[in-house]
């Protein structure tokens, strides 16, 4: 139930933001045709944009599910001290040491 509500909020929020963008382009065209100065967007277009953005953000948090704990202690409790310093992604065997070794010896 929550997933469907979240997805519908995301879709509605995106549609509202797109409508606000279209309305702002239409408003700008109206000002050009009537040769009025541009003094900013009307309040209703700004409110549409903010409400649509907030709806989409709330819907995304509903779709995302449960958040993980951000404290590092929960992940570090399962690891040993030996595995903390051992990071295989930092192993690099194609370096200049081989060329320097052949020059020195």
3-class SS of residue 94? coil
Predicted TM-score of the model (pTM): 0.61
The DSSP secondary structure of 23-74, one letter per residue, reads HHHHHHHHHHHHTPPP----HHHHHHHHHHHHHHHHHHHHHH-SPPP--THH
The pLDDT, as a whole number, for residue 9 is: 93
Cα separation, 1 vs 8, whole angstroms = 11
3-class SS of residue 81? helix
The predicted-structure confidence for 88-104, as pLDDT tens digits, reads as follows: 777 767 777 777 777 77
């Amino acid at each position: 139930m929550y997933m469907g509500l979240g997805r519908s909020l995301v879709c509605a929020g995106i549609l509202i933001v797109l409508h606000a963008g279209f309305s702002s382009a239409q408003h700008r065209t109206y000002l050009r045709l009537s040769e009025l100065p541009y003094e900013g967007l009307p309040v209703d277009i700004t409110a549409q944009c903010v409400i649509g953005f907030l709806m989409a953000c709330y819907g995304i948090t509903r779709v995302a599910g449960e958040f993980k704990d951000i404290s590092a202690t929960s992940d570090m409790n399962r690891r040993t001290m030996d595995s903390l310093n051992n990071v295989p992604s930092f192993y690099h065997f194609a370096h200049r040491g081989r060329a320097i070794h052949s020059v020195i010896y």
